[in-house]
Chain A
Amino acid sequence: MSALLSLRDIWVEYGDKIVLERVNLDIEAGSFVSIIGPSGAGKSSLLRIVLGQEVPTRGTILLDGTPLTPECGPDRGVVFQRYSVFPHLSALRNTVFGLECARAPLLARLFGAERRAATAEAADMLNAVGLGDSMHLYPAQMSGGMQQRLAIAQALIKRPRILLLDEPFGALDPGIRADMHTLITQLWRDYSLTIIMVTHDIREAFTLGTRVLALDKRRHDPHAPHRFGATAVYDLPLRNRMDREAGEDLLAAVASQQSNEKRIGHG
């Protein structure tokens, strides 16, 4: 069993503030990994490192056994909570963009038969995320949920090895969020995706994930809280419904205990 993505002894430090320490992870192809943890526990830092937007202070990241260059690339797709789509392009042009970049290095625009082929491919992708009727709308004319659907379509057209989601549904209404959960689960199955999702919603993490990572600090120095970084304190594989329920209860219990301790500590 070889891992698609391996993190080896990753440390992230900003100045003398340690955000992540000694993170070791192996992520298998086809898994759906949810990352949860309190604010400031380095969830987004971890995602940015895998994405290549940030370079870890120490440690190596291997994708298919080869070290990653510290730069974003088409092998890792991403959907952010906001600003993931280009406001100056229609939904269709937003989706074609990835194909144009690869096939027309100089102009980043396609013409003739190539253009028709790319447009047809993008239209299929938009149909798959349920935006078939909104291809010619600009993002400003779309709801938040539609924009996130578009961001997903835009990323998937590049067939990324890993899809990274940074709180993708955090800004959506509960009803829309449930629709998006159905959609992402279906896409994950249909396209055999490997997904890493950061979320602050424990329920969402357990509903969607095949594995849940909880990031937090193992040690705590009350006089210098910034000197200890977070790491994966829980790593729960979820094979079936029982796992999911047990896991969710466990983390909910931990969370409530922590908030109690904090109350007592402050009182």
Chain B
Amino acid sequence: MRWVNRQVNRRGRILLGALPILLLVLLYLFLAVQRHAANPMEKILPLPSGMAEAMAALLFQADQLTGHVVFWADTLASLQRLGLGLGIATLAALAVGLVLGVLPPLRATFGPLVTGIAVIPPIALLPILFIALGLGETAKVALIVIGIAPVMVRDIVAHVAALPREQIVKAQTLGASSWQIMIRVALPQAMPRLLHAMRLSLGPAWVFLISAEAIAADVGLGYRIFLVRRYLSMDVIIPYVAWIAALAIVMDMALTLTSRRLYPWAHGAGH
């Protein structure tokens, strides 16, 4: 049988998908144990026991200086920044995307501007943001917004502008105004695409969040990683990275599920 025709059932998929992850973990453990056998003070590849010990302090003991539990304070601060940035960018993408997508004169006026902003590397704007907005929360959220909004806006504009001309004409023959076409024809059809754009923007959003936190912050997942790097605390860095990955996966799955629940028509006929 050709490999292109080999289908894998649900159980098989889970088993196969777990296999490389399991192998990587085993490889890590093997190397870690080996290095620890050679040097009991080994820091580069900590054992799970070491990680658990280091994380327990951050997870369960309040920081003497601030009174907060470090791990949860970091998570809360980072999620707040990420949520704000992603939320603002999404609303901007929806509003601008709809207006520019539906109304050709506005697309002609602002399309080049959006393209111009989109090609600027956002990290290059970070100094400007820090100078203009200070080192506080605003600059970090602004970096996320500037980093992901232009791409999302362009995606939604392109998607809305590519709706079949027949649909727009049909809506007009049913008496719809530009506004009604925007909210009843374009908006619902842009929503699944918007959720998809959010999923794709999650990766860049995390990058910008960690970058901003690495440069100027006093709390946050990215801040912590870059702080403990000075002490070669891989026993903290690795669990933190794993935690970030877990958060990202949960968000991605939540967005997919939301899209399937709310917009079944956009996910094939079999609903």
Contact = CB atoms under 8 A, between A and B. Distances in A.
A141 B166 contact: no
A80 B170 CA distance: 9
Contacts of B269: 138, 140-141
Contact of A72 (B169, B266, B271): B169
A88 B174 contact: no
Interface centre among B167, B173, B175, B189 (most CB of A within 10 A): B173
Contact of A78 (B170, B179, B266): B170
B164 interface: yes
B175 A53 contact: no
B191 to A, nearest CB: 8
Interface string A63-90: 0000000011110111010111111110
B177 interface: yes
Contacts of B180: 101, 105, 108
A11 interface: no
B105 to A, nearest CB: 15
Interface string A101-128: 1100111110000000000000000000
Given A83-B167, A87-B265, A88-B265, A160 B189 contact: no
A154 interface: yes
Interface centre among B171, B172, B269 (most CB of A within 10 A): B172
A72 B22 CA distance: 61
Given A53-B169, A86-B167, A86-B185, A98 B263 contact: no
A51 B169 contact: yes
Interface residues of A, number: 37
A158 interface: yes
In terms of DSSP, what is the predominant structure of the interface of chain A?
Answer: loop
Contacts of B167: 83-84, 86
Contacts of A98: 174-175
A155 interface: yes
Contact of B266 (A88, A89, A102): A88
A80 B268 CA distance: 22
B169 A158 contact: no
A32 interface: no
Interface in B7-63: none
B176 interface: yes
Contacts, number: 89
A83 B164 contact: yes
A141 B189 CA distance: 17
Given A74-B174, A158-B174, A84 B265 contact: no
Contacts of A108: 176, 180, 183-184
A73 B189 contact: no
B204 interface: no
A105 B169 contact: no
B188 interface: yes
A87 B175 contact: no
A97 B177 CA distance: 12
Contacts of A138: 264-265, 269, 271
A72 B174 CA distance: 9
Contact of B173 (A140, A141, A158): A158
Interface of B: 164, 166-167, 169-177, 179-180, 183-185, 188-189, 263-266, 268-269, 271
20 contacts: A53-B169, A71-B172, A74-B174, A87-B189, A88-B265, A88-B266, A97-B176, A101-B176, A101-B177, A102-B175, A106-B179, A108-B183, A108-B184, A141-B269, A141-B271, A151-B170, A154-B170, A154-B174, A155-B173, A160-B173
